[in-house]
Structure 1
Amino acid sequence: MDWTLEVVIVPVSDLDRAIAFYRDQVGFDLDHDTVNEHMHVAQLTPRGSGCSIVIGSLPAQNQMTPGSLHGLQLCVPDAEAARAELVARGVDCSEITSFSPDDGGTFFGFTDPDGNTWAVQQLKVRGENPLIPVESRTRFGA
């Protein structure tokens, strides 16, 4: 049986600010922004990822302190290009650090407006062999 991680809840204090940051600055796709009498939640997905983040006012989110999630990790085929893209969009990123010359040994990081931290790992193999093929990246029947 396959078990897939599909959603990570990220605690934020201001949903609109967080949507703008993750969509407009980091470049995640906004899958939905749902408001009803019980909640306001948004789901955003990094391009090429099978896992999304959910931000908003779900009960589990209300129990988490905004900014308390640390060490989330994204993988990209080219750390220099990814960092340059984020910096051009106004994201404050750490410098690139290489811990090893092997694929997977290069990282940089950034922090969202609430203090949740992200590591970005370079895996060149993701450019050659993506986990989710481009033709399979539609979400929600789109």
Structure 2
Amino acid sequence: MTKPDIIDVATIGVPVTDQDRAIAFYVHQLGFEKRLDVPLEQLGGRWIVVAPPGATTTIALIPASDAIPAGVETGIRLTTRDAAALQTELGARGVDVGELLLWDGVPPMFTFRDQDGNGFEAVE
């Protein structure tokens, strides 16, 4: 008998105050694709899943609540081939981006926030 094990990370939930506004941000400003959008009354909204094109791990845009507030540091690090170019591009699209961090021995990175103030990092 094989031992059950965890083999991957499928979806990470990010709390949002307005799911339609969140779709607009993640799809139009970040360039993600919407992979799923179905009603889910148990959440008081919909089950919406977005991801960068071709990514395996996805982000669920879940309705915020008192127990799951929006505007948090998610701890999510997204990867990019060129942090400086992405920081410039996202800033031009109106995304709230932080400064490009260039530290010896560490890949270039910067922080950014979604429409609800949820914090992410982009790392080269």
TM-score normalised per structure 2: 0.82
* Cα shift at 1:37: 4.8
1:83-116 deviation per Cα after TM superposition (whole angstroms, max 9, x unaligned): 122122211211211122x4x5211110112121
Q: Which residue of 1 aligns with 2:121?
A: 119
**4+ residue runs of structure 1 moved beyond 3 angstroms?**
36-39
Percentage of matched positions with identical amino acids:
33
Cα RMSD (Å)? 1.9
The 5 Å alignment of 1:100-111 reads 100=104, 102=105, 104-111=106-113
1:58-82 deviation per Cα after TM superposition (whole angstroms, max 9, x unaligned): xxx6431112243211111111121
Q: Which residue of 1 aligns with 2:58?
A: 52
- Structure with more strand by fraction: 2
Aligned residues: 117
- Alignment partners' CA distance in 2, 1:117 and 1:48: 22
Q: Unaligned stretches of 5+ in structure 1?
A: 123-142
Look up the SS of the partner of 2:96 in the other structure. coil
* Cα shift at 1:22: 0.7
Q: What amino acid does structure 1 have at the position aligned with 2:78? A: L
Closer/same/farther in 2, CA of residues 99 and 48 from structure 1, 3 Å limit: farther
Please tell me whether the aligned partners of residues 110 and 117 of structure 1 are also in contact (alpha carbons under 8 angstroms).
yes
TM-score normalised per structure 1: 0.73
Q: Unaligned stretches of 5+ in structure 2?
A: none
